[in-house]
Amino acid sequence: MQIKKICCIGAGYVGGPTMAVIADKCPSIHVDVVDINKKRIQKWNSPNLEELPVYEPGLKEIIKRCRNKNLKFSTSIKEKISKADMIFISVNTPTKKKGFGAGKASDLKWVEACARQVALYASGHTIVVEKSTLPVRTAGVIKEILNECEVSPRKSHSNKTFDVLSNPEFLAEGSAINDLITPDRVLIGGDTQIAIETLAKIYQNWVPNEKILRTNLWSSELAKLTSNAFLAQRISSINSISAICEQTGADIREVSKAIGSDSRIGSKFLNSGPGFGGSCFKKDILNIVYLSEYFGLPEVASFWESVVQLNNWQQHRISKLIVRKLFGTLSNKKIVILGFAFKANTNDTRESPAINICKDLLEEGASLVIHDPKVCSEQINFDLKFESTNNFEEQQNKTLIEEGNWIKENDLSDSFKDADAAVFLTEWSEYKNINWDDVYEKMRKPSWIFDARSITNPMEVRNAGLNLWRIGDGL
Ligand code: UDX
Ligand code: UDX
């Protein structure tokens, strides 16, 4: 089967960049990305490439090359579904807020809604590809909805047929384009060989065939969840050791290097920090927890749940030690937050450790000055769910921040003015070249630097006269 038209439902952090790379690498395929969110689509179509809804290094160059050629963004969901030979489902699957499995299970209402739309509007033979990370056996739900349409007597005149594949995404934000262009592997799960090979052929335009793994549907779905759970587990493991380092005089960077040199362990994902964020890790682990409980495996559930608990603990541990070092009170103290995104090179703040840490500090009465090169103040306001007696915009224009309130500061150097402490929460590269003598002059004394990302040079900070706490530093 030759694919000529692809439709991707969901123009988010996954759908947008993934489809951009497919369009760029396969000029003969027409790719339509559709979304129910009009504003998001407008941003994807914005003539100013700085206004794209997703910030990813290398993305705007691809959009410039392909947009309105073989890559189009629109809200014409029905029309684009009806014309596509292959449909990617890349919509969000948040954790359920209420009902059975609340707080753990994924809410599949969007995926189900997409499957129903595909069932209704598709024509001819269509390959439906799960791109969203989903609980194991979700492909079964999609299949059931589509099959219903295939065999429905009222639709007997229609010639609709479907194949369902699982093709999870392994891109990490901030390096998405690179991860898509040179993936460690591409995973395709399915039960029809022809459908699997049809999708494999698209990837073969730029990915060596030996990197394209073919599995059954359920292995593919579970491999994606497990992959994220293993990565997150490494971070909780190293973060737990950071706390031991701080008590014993060991240095987490030295410990990480020493253990990472063992080729069986490997050196990646051993950076201790303020805890993992991002839209996937917590959600996917909680999915495994829910599945384990559902299948009567409570020991497995509690093993994975502890990874999330350790992550929460690490975030609150940092807030607590900031309060302790600042004499037990943050009232009338100005604290600079350096970085609000959940990692560098992205404007995404979902599950960012900065959210919990800032909330803790605001609760203690601190006045926060938040700096981040890519996150806008509206997003910060949304994340902190800030209920102030003053309106948010009014506060942003003030120079004196009220107790338990915050402002966004765009000038890095100005943000240190009269501050009692600065806390590094995201490893933005601009934070690597700070002039510490200059910072010392600007801050109120005694001044504290809290480095949760190991981004500072401790000698330089201490030589400038500043107090320094670094994650996992026992000295
Ligand atoms: C999402 C999931 O969170 C992740 O688990 C999965 O692997 C991929 O999809 P992401 O792209 O980061 O990741 O989500 P998001 O940026 O929220 O984008 C999803 C988009 O789908 C949104 O723009 C939303 O408007 C859209 N959507 C949702 C639809 O177009 N139709 C729907 O019915 C529901
Ligand atoms: C992750 C997976 O890496 C990716 O394969 C999957 O498709 C989606 O989820 P992402 O969440 O975008 O990607 O970023 P990632 O680089 O994995 O970082 C996640 C979090 O872990 C960030 O908050 C990051 O700062 C943190 N992290 C990462 C550490 O604290 N230490 C590390 O050593 C690595």
Q: Which tens digit of pLDDT belongs to each residue from 157-174?
A: 568 999 999 999 999 999
Q: Give the strand order in the sheet containing 212-215.
A: 71-74, 30-34, 5-9, 86-89, 125-130, 161-166, 186-189, 212-215
Q: Which of 8, 114, 280, 358 is catalytic?
A: 280
| Res 148: pLDDT | 82
**How far separated are the first and last CA of the chain, in Å rounded?**
63
Q: Name which of 137-151, 370-384, 442-456 the model is least confident about.
A: 137-151
161-166/125-130 β-pairing:
parallel
For ligand 1, atom 30: residue with the closest CA? 35
pLDDT at 415 over 80: yes
pLDDT at 153 over 70: no
Dihedral of CA 101/103/106/110: which sign?
positive
The answer to whether 274 touches 455, Cβ cutoff 8 Å, is no
Report the pLDDT averaged over residues 127-151. Answer: 87
Q: Name which of 92-106, 235-249, 288-302 the model is least confident about.
A: 92-106
Instruction: Give residue 398's pLDDT band: very low, low, confident or very high (50, 70, 90).
Output: low
| Res 394: pLDDT | 66
Contacts for 206 with CB less than 8 Å, ≥ 6 apart: 25, 181
**Is the beta carbon of 73 within 6 A of some atom in ligand 2?**
no
Angstrom distances, CA of residue 167 to CA of 203, 210, 220, 257? 11, 16, 7, 34
| Res 95: pLDDT | 87
Ligand 1, CB cutoff 6 Å, lining residues: 9-15, 35-37, 40, 90-93, 110, 113-114, 131-133, 169, 279-280
Instruction: Give residue 361's pLDDT band: very low, low, confident or very high (50, 70, 90).
Output: very high
- C-alpha torsion 69→73→74→79, nearest 10: 60
Q: What global pTM score does this model have?
A: 0.92
| Res 389: pLDDT | 45
Distance CA 175, CA 107 (A): 27
Instruction: Give residue 393's pLDDT band: very low, low, confident or very high (50, 70, 90).
Output: low
- Kindly give the distance from the C-alpha atom of residue 172 to the centroid of ligand 2, in angstroms, as a whole number: 6
The answer to whether 472 touches 272, Cβ cutoff 8 Å, is yes
Angstrom distances, CA of residue 325 to CA of 155, 157, 442, 458? 70, 74, 20, 17
Domains of the chain: 5-215 (3.40.50.720), 310-470 (3.40.50.720)
Displacement of CA 64 from its chain's centroid (Å): 24
Please provide the DSSP assignment of 32-44 as one string. EEE-S-HHHHHHH
Compute the mean pLDDT over every residue in the chain, rounded to the nearest whole number.
94
- 10 Å CB burial of residue 172 (0-12, 13-18, 19+) is middle
Does the active-site annotation cover 280?
A: yes
| Res 94: pLDDT | 86
Per residue in 281-309, pLDDT (tens digit) is 999 999 999 999 999 999 999 999 999 99
3-state SS, residue 157: coil
Angstrom distances, CA of residue 81 to CA of 50, 98, 165, 201, 278? 29, 31, 17, 21, 30
Dihedral of CA 284/290/295/296: which sign?
positive
For ligand 2, atom 31: residue with the closest CA? 271
The answer to whether 333 touches 326, Cβ cutoff 8 Å, is yes
Q: Name which of 102-111, 274-283, 388-397 the model is least confident about.
A: 388-397
- Kindly give the distance from the C-alpha atom of residue 270 to the centroid of ligand 2, in angstroms, as a whole number: 11
- Kindly give the distance from the C-alpha atom of residue 91 to the centroid of ligand 1, in angstroms, as a whole number: 3
The answer to whether 459 touches 471, Cβ cutoff 8 Å, is no
Report the pLDDT averaged over residues 34-50. Answer: 97
Angstrom distances, CA of residue 68 to CA of 45, 62, 87? 9, 12, 19
- Using only the alpha carbons of the chain, give its radius of gyration: 24
Distance CA 401, CA 330 (A): 13
The answer to whether 451 touches 469, Cβ cutoff 8 Å, is yes
- Kindly give the distance from the C-alpha atom of residue 155 to the centroid of ligand 1, in angstroms, as a whole number: 30
Angle of helix 353-363 relative to helix 298-325, nearest 10 degrees?
50
pLDDT at 386 over 80: no
For ligand 1, atom 1: residue with the closest CA? 92
Contacts for 331 with CB less than 8 Å, ≥ 6 apart: 364, 365, 366, 403
pLDDT at 397 over 80: no
Distance CA 420, CA 422 (A): 7
Tell me which ligand sits closest to the C-alpha of residue 424. Answer: 2
**Residue % of the chain over a pLDDT of 70:** 95
The answer to whether 420 touches 333, Cβ cutoff 8 Å, is yes
Tokens found for residue 199: 């999708």
